[in-house]
Structure 1
Amino acid sequence: MLNWIQGLFTAKPKGRLGIDVGSSAIKLVEISSAVQPLSLETYGLASLGEEALSESRSLTAAIESIRQGGGDDAGGGKTDNHGEIIFKAGLPSNSILGAFSDREISQIIKELLIRSRAKARRVCFSLPAFTTFFTVIELPPMKEKEIHAAIPYEAAKYVPIPLDEVFLDWSIISPSTSSGQAPSTGLDSELDSRNSPQARASAVSSSALNSLPNGSEQAVNVLMVAILKEAVAKYTKIAQLSNLEMGALEPESFSLARALVGESKDLSIIVDVGSSFTNIALMDRGSIRIVYNTRKKNHQETGQLNEDAVVEGINSVLDSYRAKSHSVVSPKCILTGGRTQAPDFDKILKEKLNFEVLTLNSFEKINYLEGLEPALKEISSSFGVAVGLAMR
């Protein structure tokens, strides 16, 4: 199941810390949960250009780039599988996780903690697109115990690297896509990073199984994710060196869904365009149904973001889902990620897609000081993952 540590901690800390280690920047958000609604305590950003990753790998430059918020400075069976294979053994050298050592990354994080004045020490880290592999598997009608046994066997057919190099996790998203039932698991799905390397997800949530009678005659749709063990081990070490308590690891798509979609049951497509990768997640009835990860594509002539490639990815995901669900509802497209701030990007997509395209404030579901509005508006598109992690 996608919920390995639910109930393990009986008391929730007052502060929630989310850290997003992206391809070229590290973002930190702390949210206070002492009172409702949630409120922003602080945020921080360490931005590394592509040159720092490919050439100098300068730790000093990374620390000098830090922007902080709060304090005195407010500036701060069958399968659906899409896109090229970016999931493979080894962490890419043009990413922070691949270019910097555990100790170097922890130094940046510790400096972020100091400058942002963050107090929480239990952290949730993001799992970048290149460390996760999603697929939806359609299983024939079977009993609960048979599903447990079938998942690893099915995973071996689709996961592009040996299974002994990954952790597997999964969630039943519905007995059948067209059943009309609400999804069995929502946005609190999580991976317990502290499981031993031999650990495997061996159960689905009780709420899912309550809606799945033994011997059900309906096909079972399972959202499965494979996660690089190397990434889990690296994050565990980074947390230790940063003097942080590891709370959970979570795929970026789940964090974005929590921050941008929340409890909405509408058909939504989240498009996250970062410095290296484009991540497209389709949600329906409150649950992620399809995840599409691919490398970001630029125009050969201008070097600017290729809007047609993004549109092609969105249409591919939507067509695939409609073919299985027979849904004719028009989705809303939510843009996020730093590269979506390109001039007229949202207008171009709206013209090409012919349905609603939105750019939302990643901080809109939490309270913050009015004076922070200009600074948060400027960085909102890059902070969706970090905000979603802190909202857990």
Structure 2
Amino acid sequence: MPRLGFMLVVLAATTSVAASPPPLVEAEQVASMGSPFAVVREHVTADIYHYQFDIRVGSTPNARVRIHRVVRELAPWRPRPTAHAVMLLHGDFANFVTNFVPTLGHPASSVSGLAPYLVARGIDTWGVDRRWTLPGADGDISDLGEMGVAQELGDISVALAFARATRGVTDGDAGRIVLGGFSHGAQLTYAYAAADGRHVSAIAALDVYYDIAPEDADLRALACANAAAGRDALAEGVTDSSNSLFITAGELARSSPDAPSPLFPSYTNRGVLLTLAGLTWWLAPYTPLYHLSAPLLDAEGNVSELRESSEDDVSAWFASAPPHQSMRETAELDEIWCGTSPRPSLANIRVPLFYLGAAGGFGDRGLYSTTRVSSSDVTTLVVRRFGPERVAEDFGHGDLLYAADAPTLAWKPLATWLLRH
């Protein structure tokens, strides 16, 4: 691949002791650049820096693979070599930064972030954004309809190859690395490992299922109905599964929390945030009581506050969402759950697997998928506060990334496992 060779020459130059780094660009300038390669470098904390690489892979408006690296530096542009590496795939209404380095988001979150946590413990942390995260609110989305699972698996392969080759230059280690993901990013992690997996030494799935257990026929029926609705929308020319609900809810909860909501007039803006976060199953019952953030429920079953993640951090997560999301991806991921389209079999996975669930998210229902792989090295952990009778209030899906106790309950076990794999 000529372009990849060119990119590695550029990258080698940027990490050479004697070389000068390439000109830095602002993140919002990258989208308009005609160059096949662009780099953004920004400080995270202490000696930890975030690099963003934009690699053009085609002629359509958003044909770019955006790769991230969070790493400790010995000096500017000189990463500290490590023996361990992971690539993390983000979830819905998010990108790598807003899920894993949220202090760099817009608006910024106070949560330190999973990526810097792992980096501080000797784990070189990479990521790749799905292409629907790239266009702004008024950006060109004429290629949004092409953004499906096959394209995403191809981009993941490019990103993993880039990470391995780069680590060969900067760390002297071009070996396979761990692929991990959160939510639908974890579903893609399973799919990549099952379909290809050539660059992967192990996988870590954070709170999702890939195969739905036979006893959960109702969840499969929901996925089938959602897949059919998505296909109908595509047939009518709808390619954008907009994130405007989350963005507006987050922004209004931050700017005027006590004002009546224009989204749901019977609620305040704060009430909408709390309901979307704590009673998510009203709109997205991936499990019967699925929620993004653990709620404190009053006598009427309404959310009075959030137990684990702060309202400020949850509203920042929502408000920083990319404006667009691919309807094709949404339909195809639902089809994987439904089982109506050809899909890579989990039986193809023979590398070690770590499943980290949240009791109030996909939780225990994500365990069935771990029994479907061929690997003999499977570790599972479901973070929970309460027994099954209080699952409605238990640790939520997004609490794995944003809760005050996430570093102790979720990130530490993941880091421990990564350092062993």
**TM-score normalized with structure 2 length:** 0.27
**TM-score normalized with structure 1 length:** 0.28
If each structure's helix is expressed as a fraction of its own residues, which one has the higher value?
2
